[in-house]
Chains A and B, each alone.
Chain A
């Protein structure tokens, strides 16, 4: 029983820690959007091009956050069964 509790606790804490990865993309995406807005204010005629480039950059910045999210999902839904099966 104790081992099961420890395994589940470890998985839950790990999932929580994995989602810390959301901080980086949050900051990065906000920075990218802000910079794009600055550029748009300077040159409004470039709006279309800037928007698509910004979205592409934001999507790339998001990847690390998504990795964290997938790790969290794995820790919640896959890892407990796997580790409890090992016991």
Chain B
């Protein structure tokens, strides 16, 4: 039995600019993006005002939920942020859940979550510069006293780092633990039936009794709950950081 925990495999390399490596992460992210775009196009076709279909009711519910989330956490003047936040959330959930289909989950790669966190960080910095001006932004680092400037800068830089690592770490830890449980159950399965003599023992040891149901229970927590949770938290933190940047 072999357990392997690896990063994203590099599928092929484009021989430009010294070789651009195309990994599973990139391919799967594009797949998720195509699926999401297709879903959006399909869901928003022939919308009506009266006699709405079930599909439209679900879409309206989702849009209302996203709008309420942004309204509660950012306020009425940030309503133009609904598309950004819901896109971030949808991309995060679908990327994490694509791991259930046997694909490499793009969020299990630090590059993906770091890219999202940097997108948020650029907006935070933009809004801080816009409200306070460059001088005010620089003055913000010397908040209680100028000696604290290095620590404040470190704190500023660690905002995207901690966001990225939180998302990445949760998804990867779920994957690692699921792999370990699967391996342990395979061993347990062998130990349970391997002692039976002859062909019966060999046959029963090869049948994965234990590995059928039990990993699904753990996957319910680590994959379903964890994915939804991390997407929600990432969106919440982006909303809070962006809306407090203007204070």
How far is B162's CA from A52's CA once the two chains are assembled, in angstroms? Answer: 20
Q: For the complex, what is the distance from the CA of A63 to the CA of B5, rounded to whole Å?
A: 22
Contact between chains at B162 and A63 (CB < 8 Å): yes
Contacts of B166 in A (CB 8 A): 59, 62-63, 66
Q: Given the complex of chains A and B, what is the CA–CA distance between A70 and B172 in angstroms?
A: 9
Q: Interface of chain B, helix or strand or loop or mixed?
A: helix
Residues of the A chain whose Cβ atoms lie less than 8 Å from the Cβ of B83:
none
For window 14-72 of A, CB contacts with B under 8 Å fall at 52, 55-56, 59, 62-63, 66-67, 69-70
Asked if B127 is at the interface (CB within 8 A of a chain A CB), the reply is no
Query: Residue A59 contacts which of B5, B168, B173, B229 (CB distance < 8 angstroms)?
Result: B229
CA distance A70 to B173 in the complex (A): 9
Nearest CB in chain A: distance from B82 CB, A: 17
**B208 within 8 Å of A by Cβ?**
no
Q: Does B233 contact A (CB under 8 A)?
A: yes
Q: Render B223-247 as a binary contact track against A, CB cut-off 8 A, 1 for contact.
A: 0000001101100110000000000
Once the chains bind, are A56 and B233 in contact (CB under 8 Å)? Answer: yes
In the assembled complex, which residues on chain B have CB atoms less than 8 Å from the CB atom of A69? Answer: 169, 172-173
* Bound-state Cα–Cα, A40 to B80, Å: 33
Which residues of B sit under 8 angstroms from A66, Cβ to Cβ?
165-166, 169-170, 173
Inside 8 A of A70's CB, which chain B residues have their CB? 165, 168-169
Instruction: Give the Cβ gap from A47 to chain B, nearest Cβ, in Å.
Output: 15
Does A84 sit at the interface, judged by CB under 8 A?
no
CA distance A56 to B229 in the complex (A): 9
User: Which residues in A have their C-beta under 8 angstroms from that of B168?
Assistant: 70
Distance A67 CA – B110 CA, assembled complex (angstroms): 13
A56-B236, A66-B165, A66-B166 known; A73+B172 contact, CB < 8 A: yes
Q: How far is the CA of A63 from the CA of B169 in the complex (A)?
A: 9
B residues bordering A, Cβ < 8 Å?
5, 162, 165-166, 168-170, 172-173, 176, 229-230, 232-233, 236-237
Q: List 25 A-B contacts (CB under 8 A).
A: A55-B229, A55-B232, A55-B233, A56-B233, A56-B236, A56-B237, A59-B229, A59-B230, A59-B233, A59-B237, A62-B166, A62-B170, A63-B162, A63-B165, A66-B166, A66-B170, A66-B173, A67-B165, A67-B169, A69-B169, A69-B172, A69-B173, A70-B165, A70-B168, A70-B169
Top 7 A-B pairs ranked by shortest CB distance? A66-B169, A59-B233, A63-B162, A69-B169, A63-B166, A70-B169, A56-B236
With A70-B168, A70-B169 given, name 16 new contacts (CB 8 A): A55-B229, A55-B232, A55-B233, A56-B237, A59-B229, A59-B230, A59-B233, A62-B170, A63-B165, A66-B165, A66-B170, A67-B165, A67-B169, A69-B169, A69-B173, A73-B172
